[in-house]
Structure 1
């Protein structure tokens, strides 16, 4: 039994036929099949072209006679295929023989039906309409896959794959003309913090707005691409002078620095930009790409928010950094790192109340490596997490040794520095608690130090972790206070016990009036908030006298004691007031 639509379905048909009665016969049959037919008939080539060009009609199917006095059915099929490769095309003819029918299907028709057997339409029409939908969906899916293989779905910019092809093309064409190609790699420095603080939707919106600004700054032949999470690239082909690239880098940098409003916040986007130039910085695209990346990384390592052009020195620095990372990894594996300890002293009594555990590394060929040189390498490479765990474990073990030898009342509290990367570690509170439990320590013996800038990278997450540490009973110390955000509102919210005034504010004491004013303000604020204060970097007796007169409770610095190995500090721990005499001199 033939299939008939259960309800009248709309159908827009284009009929190519020169005999009006044959048109009406076809129309009656289609309506008998249950279609709500909207049709238009033509019998000349120019009328067919006009009908096909009227895309608003939305033709769903074409029926065509094979032989007409002024027109040919195969010619009509060819015209239809020029406008739509997938539209169902069915020949309806009284003169179509078997050979011609085969030729018609080979030429692209879906079916052929004789006028004396229109009942075959009942199966052919719904089948071909269905197949047309399937073909279009398949083509759309294939087109989607092609698009996703070449473009970033979020920003609609070319992705890394298409970027590499465009770069190859730019270098080939510009090289043939003796012109230059500029490559800019752009990293959004604080993207992770923004996304963490405001949510992933805000992060996506930021990326889209940055992409739009890059598009506005690139001309037709230039390419802006998104090549990773928070990294974009720009290709500037056919440059005659390097100054053109310098000017474009300036324009892009200024464009990104304008505030971007997201979720009610005006965000200032800091970007690290690295630039390389063909053929000055390399002949091959992968070399140019790598050089631009190295320049960008150097901007990041210098604090971000800047632009650098690649130089041979950058390559050398990068190689040294890779070598340093390799050596540091070996030092971690072979346990070649050590801890030194520097006392925190009570000004009134000269009592040693706490020690700060400071990481030290002596390179087998280069000698002692400053912490501010190898710690950034550890953070960038991910080594900071195993190093941080080792430091915490070693410091707790050392406190256990001192407690067992000198007693809990005499053993100084142990202060351990934590990096921002450690505060991104899930379950940090549990890690600290399990380490304390492993050595059987009272949580009050441990002081966790975090810098202001690290604390502000992800305030909400950091707040949660610090609260858990405070609940355990650990002391929280805010290191380098005054050098970062110095947000009093956050200081009130965070569960902080101790402020450590940065050495840069101590150096000018007592002669620098600005430093004097800052120290007095910090001490007054800390007193109001019931916080202890440690002044770092004490190097002169004059600094010590000023701080004593201003009521600062705790001090730390080379004037009292340089960082030393644990065994060298033990004679001082054994004394009840080891620094009393020095404080009086």
Structure 2
């Protein structure tokens, strides 16, 4: 009897603990994997790190890994991501990578749960979480030891009674049976019932306390404490898994469960739903200029304003923070008609108005805004994934429309996204197909009225769409990472062309070449070594190369960029700050980053003859730059009056359609001659 009870208890407890840990872990990992779809699709490592930090803080979690479809580590939940790019080589890696559905593997030390992550039919990678089994094994061992000691002591006492009197064997046997039923079997059966409740996910079972002072009482009290610990652990896990740590709002996982439930409830009822995707405009500017701590303060204040607005609006709306600077609001309507659309439009308008007011952070007013995308159920989509995708698309269109506004989702937006994706695919092979060419816009010395250099510009002649505007395909190249390939190609060919047109013009030591540099080029790889290699390979003089970069390429990483640009300037390369006057903190960059000159943005030049403010700003920029020993170039000179005005104000160089349109290499050589 003792052996049977020990074996039964050991097997029951082992099966209970391992199955519960596996089920709970699998459910948690699947929810987290759903939350990683968008960040993994957009390769947002910061958002991935925030989600992984939540699950990594759970007790008994040994490791967390987000991996690519090839099995390379993309994120391990740490701040530095020391294992980024390394191949998974543990015993569970091969099976996890091959799995097309959630997979649970374990050995005596760890329970490994792998969940693939996909968007539509495209596999983005996967998530693996390892739970340590050491504490579980220790708890099982302790419980089994307590039970074993209890049974041994009880058996010993009762066997002594049996040996004292053989005459009363039958009577004593009956008494022992009744005693065992009451003292052993009944408490153990009760504990087994509690264990089954916990196994089914009911962590709120109330284990009755025992006043017994024997080992069975100790076992009951131990089981009671273990049940309370599991209940507290479940509450903590759910709170961490479903609550945003910074704002206290529900997070993506909690919102998805609420949305799924509302869709099920609305399936058979004439009631619609509206999703409002709200994203803070230019929030990155706050982090880059004031720091991430100030950014957190802005997020907290924004979330409080949004929460207050939604609560005043009423209607039982559900508010969640999806991570970063993105918030989502779920509205429920009484009908599927115009009423819900008007309600969502009214709430979005109030949000835009409320959040356009400045926020005071560290005694400094910060002016931001909010872009809101709205999608409706069942008009726009019938499923949660499609609704969330449509809301994200609508929010992006609000940003494209000028920010600080709201837009409803429409089928045409899907077509715009598809066109953008197709444009990116076409751009990938455009250079090899000969569709991309270089044009050169001449730059003139305003005092001597002579050609002093040219800015290289990239042009794309699409076989179907014709000439694609640079503002369109350069943005596509930036977001798709193609600029890191196109940038060096443009620089290499432009340097080779510049050597030729200087030679044919008879000015081998004059006429500079100006090349635009993308922020991604500066932040990816060794840009300085890349430029040095191109200059050496083409024979282009470093002193005649002018690199033009915008403030967005500098802010947030001034120390590293200053070192990189300083290395190039030591070789003789000139550095220019493009679009000067339109940035967030241009004056500070003139002090912290080595700069040789500034280019006045064309928006000031266009109105300089009609707007006294633009004229004053242009004059001030020229005077300030000259006082710092910098050269000034004016962009967008399109009339003779503008040129005369700039010459009077002492502007050094100018470029624009009045002075010369962007032209092929041969035309530039002819102009130079």
After TM superposition, the score normalised by the length of structure 2 is 0.63
| Partner of residue 98, structure 1 | 180
Q: 1:223 and 2:318 equivalent?
A: yes
Which digits, 9 at most, give the CA deviation of each residue in 1:213-254, with x for residues without a partner?
A: 433333583222222433221111125522221222133334
Distance 1:383 1:298, change over 3 A: farther
- By how many angstroms is 1:391 displaced? 2.0
After TM superposition, the score normalised by the length of structure 1 is 0.71
Instruction: State how far apart, in whole Å, the 2-side matches of 1:504 and 1:443 are.
Output: 31
Q: 1:284 aligns with which of 375, 380, 383?
A: 383
| Partner of residue 165, structure 1 | 257
Q: 2:419 aligns with which of 311, 320, 332?
A: 320
Query: Match of 1:537, SS?
Result: coil
- By how many angstroms is 1:150 displaced? 3.7
Matches within 5 A, 1:118-129: 121=214
Matches within 5 A, 1:369-384: 369-384=468-483
Q: 1:476 and 2:568 equivalent?
A: no
Higher RCO structure (Cα 8 Å, ≥6 apart): 1
Number of equivalenced pairs: 481
- By how many angstroms is 1:155 displaced? 3.8
Instruction: State how far apart, in whole Å, the 1-side matches of 2:360 and 2:605 are.
Output: 39
Q: 1:537 aligns with which of 633, 636, 641?
A: 636
Query: Match of 1:157, SS?
Result: coil
Task: Identify the range of structure 1 (141-150 vs 542-551) with the bigger mean alpha-carbon deviation.
Answer: 141-150
The gaps in structure 2 that reach 5 residues or longer are: 1-145, 155-174, 195-206
Query: Match of 2:659, SS?
Result: coil
Instruction: State how far apart, in whole Å, the 2-side matches of 1:170 and 1:108 are.
Output: 38
| Partner of residue 514, structure 2 | 415
Distance 1:268 1:559, change over 3 A: closer
Matches within 5 A, 1:402-481: 402=501, 409-425=508-524, 427-452=526-551, 455-456=554-555, 463=562, 465-481=564-580
- By how many angstroms is 1:309 displaced? 1.7
Distance 1:249 1:463, change over 3 A: farther
| Partner of residue 47, structure 1 | none
Instruction: State how far apart, in whole Å, the 2-side matches of 1:309 and 1:409 are.
Output: 58
Which digits, 9 at most, give the CA deviation of each residue in 1:39-94, with x for residues without a partner?
A: xxxxxxxxxxxxxxxxxxxxxxxxxxxxxxxxxxxxxxxxxxxxxxxxx9x9x9x9
| Partner of residue 45, structure 1 | none
Distance 1:266 1:519, change over 3 A: closer
Instruction: State how far apart, in whole Å, the 2-side matches of 1:200 and 1:139 are.
Output: 36
| Partner of residue 627, structure 2 | 528
Q: What is the Cα-based RMSD across aligned positions, in Å?
A: 3.8
Matches within 5 A, 1:294-305: 294-305=393-404
- By how many angstroms is 1:485 displaced? 3.9
Which digits, 9 at most, give the CA deviation of each residue in 1:503-554, with x for residues without a partner?
A: 3333346465444434333332232222212222223333333333333221
- By how many angstroms is 1:184 displaced? 0.9
- By how many angstroms is 1:211 displaced? 3.5
Matches within 5 A, 1:79-90: none
Instruction: State how far apart, in whole Å, the 2-side matches of 1:261 and 1:549 are.
Output: 42
- By how many angstroms is 1:340 displaced? 0.7
Task: Identify the range of structure 1 (201-210 vs 365-374) with the bigger mean alpha-carbon deviation.
Answer: 201-210
Instruction: State how far apart, in whole Å, the 2-side matches of 1:391 and 1:403 are.
Output: 18
| Partner of residue 578, structure 1 | none
Distance 1:137 1:194, change over 3 A: farther
Instruction: State how far apart, in whole Å, the 2-side matches of 1:237 and 1:462 are.
Output: 49
Instruction: State how far apart, in whole Å, the 2-side matches of 1:510 and 1:221 are.
Output: 55
- By how many angstroms is 1:446 displaced? 1.4
Which digits, 9 at most, give the CA deviation of each residue in 1:332-363, with x for residues without a partner?
A: 56463221111111133343221101011010
Task: Identify the range of structure 1 (515-524 vs 455-464) with the bigger mean alpha-carbon deviation.
Answer: 455-464
Query: Match of 1:449, SS?
Result: strand
- By how many angstroms is 1:558 displaced? 1.9
Which digits, 9 at most, give the CA deviation of each residue in 1:283-338, with x for residues without a partner?
A: 33333222211111112334533321223333332232222222222315646322
Distance 1:403 1:272, change over 3 A: same
Instruction: State how far apart, in whole Å, the 1-side matches of 2:432 and 2:225 are.
Output: 62
Matches within 5 A, 1:231-270: 231-238=326-333, 241=339, 242-262=341-361, 265-270=364-369
Bigger radius of gyration, 1 or 2?
A: 1
